[in-house]
């Protein structure tokens, strides 16, 4: 493994020297972010190669308005909120699910199946599944919605906050940050949507898109491929994760997503409204849509004073450039979403320390 790393490292050095100017590569996957920090990858890269942590952590990009809806439902005695553990501490306008946990109607689940089981076990209450995540977790939500429909588990519903990666990349490049030179594309998401999904970014914006796995050697080889392309003045689509990712992706998973969901405009924390970026349950599954069942809607969140998570997510600043970072905003008492999730850029920066 070290041989491969050394080879890639020296190729990166050569390419970056040839390019001369600063290169900004954005990863849009929380698992990449954590692996990059944990393995100290930045410390072995040349100075003019900058890695930016984009909107790749599902917790971070979940809007405050969505959390407020969840909190509103958590206050109802006739509801049980089932959620993945990492959503527990995400702050809404007033508090987080953690503060409601004492009421005992907030249950942490490890899978959407567990949430559906909760509904079967508690026929007298409505179980709301807090359905967040990118294309990796969406199929699992779709499966339980179909199951609930087939079994008529009518006290089950989901609050879909599922997000799509490609529309976010598009918005970043066209509206937020023109200085992103290339994307290191997420392995897990690509396994579902196929690396072909990034072709539009490569074609429209002339940015290299390279899919990589999560082992340090895979990340470094992915970065190496990007540097090679940039130094040759090319922008190509490439998957370095061929064991897992195909061009077309997981067709069965895509089918079930399509069957249950349709893309609508949605709010992303720190980024704002992104067209066609959020998944809503289709009408035929409307009875399992918590928004419809309770007649509630997501309001766009108010800005948190001083919090620069939006700029962090867009790759415009690095976490320590935010005035709150490490002072009033820490993993113990997070203010911005990027500090809440362990996969958030600020939390990773705080936990694994400054780069050398």
Q: Is 34 in the site for another protein (CB under 8 A)?
A: yes
By beta-carbon proximity to another protein, the closer residue of 49 and 281 is: 49
Stretch that binds another protein, among 1-9, 115-123, 145-153, 182-190 (CB under 8 A): 1-9
Name the residue among 203, 85, 83 with its Cα closest to residue 131. Answer: 83
Q: Is 5 in the site for another protein (CB under 8 A)?
A: yes
Please spell the DSSP secondary structure of 71-117, one letter per residue.
HHHHT-TTEEEEE-GGGTT---SS--HHHHGGGS-EEE-SSHHHHHH
Q: Is 332 in the site for another protein (CB under 8 A)?
A: yes
By beta-carbon proximity to another protein, the closer residue of 16 and 34 is: 34
Distance in angstroms (rounded) separating the CA atoms of residues 57 and 33: 9
Distance in angstroms (rounded) separating the CA atoms of residues 257 and 246: 18
| Contacts of another protein in 209-238 (CB under 8 A) | 216-217, 220
Q: Is 285 in the site for another protein (CB under 8 A)?
A: no
Length of the chain: 356
- H or E stretch at 157: strand 156-160
Distance in angstroms (rounded) separating the CA atoms of residues 116 and 121: 9
Q: Which of 87, 343, 344, 345 binds another protein (CB under 8 A)?
A: 343
Q: Is 140 in the site for another protein (CB under 8 A)?
A: no
By beta-carbon proximity to another protein, the closer residue of 90 and 172 is: 90
Residue 162: C-alpha distances to residues 171, 201, 256, 317 (Å): 17, 21, 14, 26
Q: Is 260 in the site for another protein (CB under 8 A)?
A: no
Q: Is 47 in the site for another protein (CB under 8 A)?
A: no
Name the residue among 269, 327, 349 with its Cα closest to residue 91. Answer: 269
Q: Is 41 in the site for another protein (CB under 8 A)?
A: yes
Q: Is 263 in the site for another protein (CB under 8 A)?
A: no
Q: Is 331 in the site for another protein (CB under 8 A)?
A: yes
Read off the tokens for 301: 């969140």
Q: Which of 14, 44, 296, 316 binds another protein (CB under 8 A)?
A: 44
Residue 31: C-alpha distances to residues 28, 34, 122, 135, 245 (Å): 9, 5, 34, 14, 16
By beta-carbon proximity to another protein, the closer residue of 27 and 86 is: 86
By beta-carbon proximity to another protein, the closer residue of 327 and 354 is: 354
Distance in angstroms (rounded) separating the CA atoms of residues 200 and 171: 13
Q: Which of 3, 20, 43, 297 binds another protein (CB under 8 A)?
A: 43
Read off the tokens for 53: 């942590």
Q: Which of 25, 29, 37, 148 binds another protein (CB under 8 A)?
A: 37
By beta-carbon proximity to another protein, the closer residue of 21 and 356 is: 356
Distance in angstroms (rounded) separating the CA atoms of residues 54 and 73: 30
232 Cβ partners below 8 Å, 6+ apart? none
Q: Is 199 in the site for another protein (CB under 8 A)?
A: no
Q: Is 2 in the site for another protein (CB under 8 A)?
A: yes
Query: Shortest distance, CB of residue 38 to another protein, whole angstroms?
Result: 7
Site string for another protein, 106-135 (x = CB under 8 A): -xxxx-------------------------
Give the interface with another protein as residue ranges (CB under 8 A): 1-2, 5, 34, 37-44, 85-86, 107-110, 216-217, 220, 330-332, 342-343, 350-356
């Amino acid at each position: 493994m070290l041989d491969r790393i050394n080879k890639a490292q020296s190729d990166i050095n050569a390419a970056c020297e040839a390019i001369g100017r600063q290169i900004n590569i954005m990863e849009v996957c929380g698992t990449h972010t954590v692996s990059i920090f944990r393995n100290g990858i930045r410390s072995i890269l040349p100075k003019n190669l900058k890695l930016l942590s984009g909107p790749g952590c599902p917790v971070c990009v979940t809007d405050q308005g969505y959390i407020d809806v969840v909190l509103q439902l958590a206050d109802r005695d006739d509801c049980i909120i089932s959620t993945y553990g990492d959503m527990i501490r995400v702050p809404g306008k007033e508090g987080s699910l953690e503060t409601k946990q004492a009421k005992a109607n907030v249950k942490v689940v490890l899978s959407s199946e567990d949430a559906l089981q909760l509904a079967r076990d508690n026929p007298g209450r409505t179980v709301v599944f807090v359905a967040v995540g990118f294309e990796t977790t969406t199929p699992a939500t779709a499966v339980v919605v179909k199951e609930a429909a087939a079994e008529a588990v009518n006290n089950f519903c989901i609050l879909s906050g599922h997000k799509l990666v490609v529309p976010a990349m598009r918005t970043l490049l066209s509206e937020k940050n023109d200085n992103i030179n290339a994307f290191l594309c997420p392995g897990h998401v690509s396994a579902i949507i196929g690396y072909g999904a990034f072709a539009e970014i490569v074609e429209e914006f002339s940015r290299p898109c390279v899919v990589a796995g999560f082992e340090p050697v895979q990340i470094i080889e992915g970065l190496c491929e990007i540097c090679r392309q940039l130094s040759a003045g090319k922008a190509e689509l490439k998957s370095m994760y061929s064991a897992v990712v195909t061009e077309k992706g997981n067709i069965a998973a895509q089918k079930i997503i399509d069957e249950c969901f349709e893309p609508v405009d949605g709010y992303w924390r720190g980024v704002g409204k992104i067209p066609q970026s959020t998944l809503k349950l289709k009408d035929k599954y409307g009875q399992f849509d918590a928004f419809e069942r309770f007649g509630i809607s997501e309001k766009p969140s108010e800005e948190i004073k001083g919090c620069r998570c939006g700029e962090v997510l867009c790759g415009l600043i690095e976490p320590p450039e935010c005035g709150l970072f490490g002072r009033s905003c820490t993993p113990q008492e997070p203010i911005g979403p990027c500090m809440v999730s362990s996969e958030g850029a600020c939390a990773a920066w705080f936990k694994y320390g400054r780069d050398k």
